[in-house]
A and B are shown apart, each in its own frame.
Chain A
Amino acid sequence: MNQTYAVGAVTAVVLATVLIGALGLRISRTTSDFYVASRTVRPGLNAAAISGEYLSAASFLGIAGLVLVQGPAMLWYPVGYTAGYLVLLVLVAAPLRRSGAYTLSDFAEARLESPQVRRLASLFVVGIGWLYLLPQLQGAGLTLEILTGAPDWVGGLLVAVVVTGTVAAGGMRSITFVQAFQYWLKLTALLVPVLFLLAAWYGDGAPRARFDDPAVLRGHTVVKVADTVRIGLDAPLTVTVTGSVDSVTYEKRTVTLAPGTHHVLGGTTLAFAPGAALPERVAGGTDPPPASGRGDPPLAPLGWSQPLAGGRDGHQLYATYGLILATFLGTMGLPHVAVRFYTSPHGRAARRTTLVVLGLVGAFYLLPPLYGALGRIYAPELALTGSADAAVLVLPDRILGGLLGDLLGALLAGGAFAAFLSTASGLTMSVAGVLTQDVLPSRGVRHFRLATLLATAVPLVVGVFASKVPVADAVGLAFAVSASSFCPLLVLGIWWRRLTPPGATAGLLLGGGSALAAVMATRAGLAPEGWPHTLMAWPAVWSVPLGFLTMVMVSLATPRRVPPGTPALLARLHLPEEITGTVPGPAQEVRR
């Protein structure tokens, strides 16, 4: 792949982000502008901004990668990311806007009149924000590594620096412009190349992607295995090996591997002849240990592209429902999503904005699965090398080649960076907002800038050390925590008048806390194989009911603690603004 074009495209996206951000900075004059764009953002612009912010690296790269490795079952990811907005729309959108809350912590305090609940909510906002930022930065690292061969921390650092700069300088107003721009950039960057790729695929005789059988390599293919893997063979396979297979070291030797499982040490290069069936990765642990593999280093319980959704039948159905619950219910509690509702002028606009968002996001999600299917046909070996997330980036070069391939590849690289930048800015904005209000000693714009630095530095440092999980899976973990903590808080807070501060605290701690613990243990590789691993990797099925149940039970047990302002607050959440008269007028803005 030609590096010059790709680097040029990434540079252009970064520069455009900074420039549009600077434009916003010139407009952003008052404190109100800085935080919430004075709540004058039009629904069209706001919807594009929300969508631009929401479509992260997981959507742009991750879905295609997972589809390539695991087939159409992974289409539940984009479906869940979209349907989450429907659940948000019907249960939360208008009341959340009418609550006047800027962050989820604000909502918790306004609804429950308790600074303790507020602080706890802030902890979850920061935790979920960091969990979500981590894969964005790692994805940026992977992209830049593939494009230029730079070490994998460089891309993350680049995104962190640009985001910290734009957010700290311009605040929300500039972010709104940047995000809206980045939605259209991302859509274009996926749409234009896929048209060319589909034309080439059609001209190629429209080969079918096969997901039931091992993929067949179309040309002479050289695969460098990143981490130690175990591969399963149904038939004898002849490969040229440089490195170590089953503890035997080869140097450019052609060997025939017998059917069964084999250990391939990380760093080994395998060269396949055209027409060879690509070996499938085998999950570690549950298979009988290979006779010759005893001295090998143990497989990491969760390797790079070891999917969290286990392939075994019973687990698969459970994992699918875990994913559905996490994404359907988790969207409403994502810190960068909630912040956006504050920029709508009133509740009705918040609903209509969400409707437009659903259209924009749904249209975008028609595209990544196409890349996954094409990747399965033309670049199946990515499943073995550990960089399936890169499928989107390498396909133009693989299918078209030449100048056209380079240019389209550059467009995709630019779009990928737009994805990292937009989601990371939104998350940084909300995490920094919470840090400024609830963690740092004093408020004010100067501390907000300090908080911005803190918000990106922590996941950047952690990202260098944390194990690599496919980016869509990693984002799924953040959704699970959000679904188990903020979903019960928001839904019960908006629709149930007997919610009490002790109930909310207990529910957040038990539901959100257990999901967070399960997710952390999974990421640290502590979860034992089999059902315990599946249960901990997809906690939403049990942790969401746990969160709801705890909140309801403890609230019912503490009926005297119902906040006195509850009836008035619920009236404000549900009554149209014409009646409550809370449409922000110029008079209120002047008070600042």
Chain B
Amino acid sequence: MSEQHPPQASGRGDPQRRPRRETVTYASAHGAGTTVPGPARRHPVHPPARSEIDEQTTLGHTYVRSLMRSQLRAALTALGALALLVGSLPLLLALPAPEAFVWLALGVGVYPVVWGTALWYVRRAERNERDFTGLVER
């Protein structure tokens, strides 16, 4: 994906976006519209890294990208495990296999594998977020 490319807009985001339609379910659901809430809504003093993110500077984008990269890595690892452990089963089962093996593999065995992968991912993703918050709040 595009993580290696320089950001499209290096300065601030576009503050003069046209007013949104007021819908009950979307726009009104998160007061500040679609942009990251500006400094006005926050506490006056921030650690420098966090201000960079809030104000959408190039450095701020770099921070966001680093988090996205680590989260994407975790996601792709989990998907790789799924493809390897479950996605390969049709080929494996196309070989002559005892019927009991098919039942055990598809009827029972797959579920702990899927759940275990999910648990690993959730822990990993939360750790990535904690590390990131620690980095920018410092």
Contact = CB atoms under 8 A, between A and B. Distances in A.
B8 A567 contact: yes
Contact of B87 (A106, A324, A373): A324
B126 A75 contact: no
Contacts of A570: 64, 68
Interface string A216-240: 0000000000000000000000000
Given A72-B106, A579-B136, A36 B82 contact: no
A441 interface: no
A567 B102 contact: no
A79 B30 CA distance: 36
A51 B42 CA distance: 38
B13 interface: yes
B68 A564 contact: no
Interface string B110-138: 11001101110110011001001100110
Interface in A83-117: 83, 85-87, 89-91, 94, 100-103, 106, 109-110, 113
B72 A495 contact: yes
Given A72-B106, A495-B1, A355 B118 contact: yes
Contacts of B26: 100-102, 106, 109-110
Interface in B28-43: 28-32, 34-37, 41-42
Interface in A118-145: none
A574 B118 contact: no
Interface size class of B (residues with CB under 8 A): 35 or more
Contact of B64 (A90, A352, A571, A584): A571
Contacts of B121: 86, 89-90
Contacts of B82: 83, 86-87, 328
A343 B106 CA distance: 32
Contacts of A249: none
Contacts of A358: 114-115, 118
A275 B74 CA distance: 56
The interface centre, meaning the residue of A85, A373, A495 with most chain B CB atoms within 10 A of its CB, is: A495
Contact of B111 (A362, A433, A568): A362
Dominant secondary structure of chain A at its interface with chain B: helix
B13 A564 contact: yes
Contacts of B17: 113, 564-565
A95 to B, nearest CB: 9
A578 B79 CA distance: 27
B24 A592 contact: yes
Interface size class of A (residues with CB under 8 A): 35 or more
Listed residue (B91, B115, B132) with the most chain A CB atoms within 10 angstroms of its CB: B115
A211 interface: yes
A457 interface: no
Contacts of B24: 31, 35, 443-444, 592
Centre residue among B34, B94, B132, B137 by max chain A CB count within 10 A: B34
A317 B30 contact: no
A72 B107 contact: yes
B56 A581 contact: no
A373 to B, nearest CB: 8
A255 interface: no
Contacts of A433: 25
A591 interface: yes
A93 to B, nearest CB: 9
A576 interface: yes
A348 B123 CA distance: 10
A90 B30 contact: no
A496 B1 CA distance: 6
B11 to A, nearest CB: 10
Contacts of B23: 437, 443
Contact of B133 (A73, A94, A103, A576): A576
A419 to B, nearest CB: 20
Given A82-B114, A498-B2, A569 B90 contact: no
Interface string A341-376: 000000010011011001100110110010001000
* Candidate in B24, B35, B91, B102 with the most chain A CB atoms within 10 angstroms: B24
B43 to A, nearest CB: 9
Q: Which of B30, B91, B108, B126 is most buried by chain A, counting CB atoms within 10 A of its CB?
A: B30
A588 interface: yes
Contacts of A79: 86, 106, 110
Given A562-B8, A567-B8, A579-B50, A82 B111 contact: yes
Contacts of A324: 87, 90
A100 B28 CA distance: 10
A321 interface: yes
Contacts of B8: 497, 562, 566-567
A570 B122 CA distance: 20
Contacts of B37: 580-582
Q: Which 3 pairs from chain A and chain B are nearest by CB?
A: A75-B106, A362-B111, A90-B75
22 contacts: A73-B93, A75-B106, A87-B82, A106-B25, A109-B26, A355-B115, A362-B114, A369-B107, A443-B24, A495-B72, A497-B5, A497-B8, A564-B13, A565-B14, A567-B8, A571-B53, A571-B61, A574-B64, A575-B64, A576-B129, A579-B53, A591-B31
Given A73-B102, A351-B126, A579-B136, 13 more contacts: A86-B78, A90-B74, A90-B121, A91-B75, A355-B115, A358-B114, A358-B115, A362-B111, A567-B8, A576-B133, A578-B133, A581-B42, A582-B32
Interface of A: 31, 35-36, 72-73, 75-76, 79, 82-83, 85-87, 89-91, 94, 100-103, 106, 109-110, 113, 211-212, 317, 320-321, 324, 328, 348, 351-352, 354-355, 358-359, 362-363, 365-366, 369, 373, 433, 437, 443-444, 495-498, 562, 564-572, 574-576, 578-582, 584, 587-588, 591-592
